[in-house]
Amino acid sequence: MGLCKCAKKKVTSLFCFEHRVNVCEYCLVENHCKCVVQSYLSWLADSDYDTNCTLCSMSLESKETVRLKCLHLFHWECLDAWARHLPGNTAPAGYKCQQCQEGIFPAPNQTSPIIERLQAVLQQANWARAGLGLSLVRTRFFYFQISSYCTSRRFLLLLFTFSARKPMNLNENNYAIPSSLLFSKDRDEDLPENKYKRRSASEWLNRWFRSRYGKRPVFDPRAQWKRGFFYIIVCIIIMMTVFTILPRFVSNRSNDDPAFNPLANPDIRIAFPEQSQ
């Protein structure tokens, strides 16, 4: 721990390796934005430092930099290019610092000058805005529709603007969006007239069954076993119910059967109390 030499005189554990002084977060953002800064204990453990970007091995002074919440410094251009090469379905936890493997995105409840500066820089890229929980910046996408004929093929190029928070209304039949979710038969439809309608028990059971034992992703190897086990349990319950209710109807019919009436059997003699006297 040390005392920063700025006018705020804040007690801080951050230490600038290049200037060899204690710095608070405010001085770090304003005056040491391209300096190698870590904790004072890190300086005592190892005072060696590298003023080059880890991703491109060039000097940090040459380009615009961004400091992550772990205090490691990178060129913003290099970090953006590295993140764009990751798969599009990468989770926010998959974006990690290349030096300490700590997550890039700060928590929603984190507030500090370093975090505010980091969020301001990350908001410039769509991959970072998704990790921060913000709406995506408008981007242009190209969709191709291929129609096959006996002698030729036609390629239809559709260019339109997409926004993550503003859905589009495509009324023309020529537009085709290659998404299996839009054409899925198992997708629940909430029409305006049925939005506040009371759900029946059968519909609720059907929705629950599809959510639990419907179509599973390909990477779930236990989906078929779960579905088969559920079917076996349902069959056992149905058989137990049938065998429990069926004897009641059969026993009621036997009451009217003369074969089970002892008074109608000539081989059985029953003495009534009046006759015995």
Tens digit of pLDDT for each residue in 241-253? 988 888 777 666 6
Q: Are 95 and 103 in contact (CB under 8 A)?
A: yes
Domain ranges, ordered by start, for the chain: 2-132, 139-210
pTM over 0.95? The answer is no
User: Given a cut of 70, is residue 140 above it in pLDDT?
Assistant: no
pLDDT at 144 over 50: no
Residue 147 pLDDT = 39
pLDDT score for 245: 85
Question: What pLDDT is recorded for position 255?
Answer: 65
Q: Which of 51, 53, 120 is nearest to 82 (CA)?
A: 53
Band the pLDDT of 215: cuts 50, 70, 90. Answer: low
> Is 206's pLDDT higher than 90?
no
50 versus 192: the higher-pLDDT residue is 50
Predicted confidence at residue 236, as pLDDT, reads: 93
Q: Which amino acid is at 17?
A: F
Q: CATH number for the 2-132 domain, one of 3.40.1180.10, 3.30.40.10, 3.40.630.10, 3.50.50.60?
A: 3.30.40.10
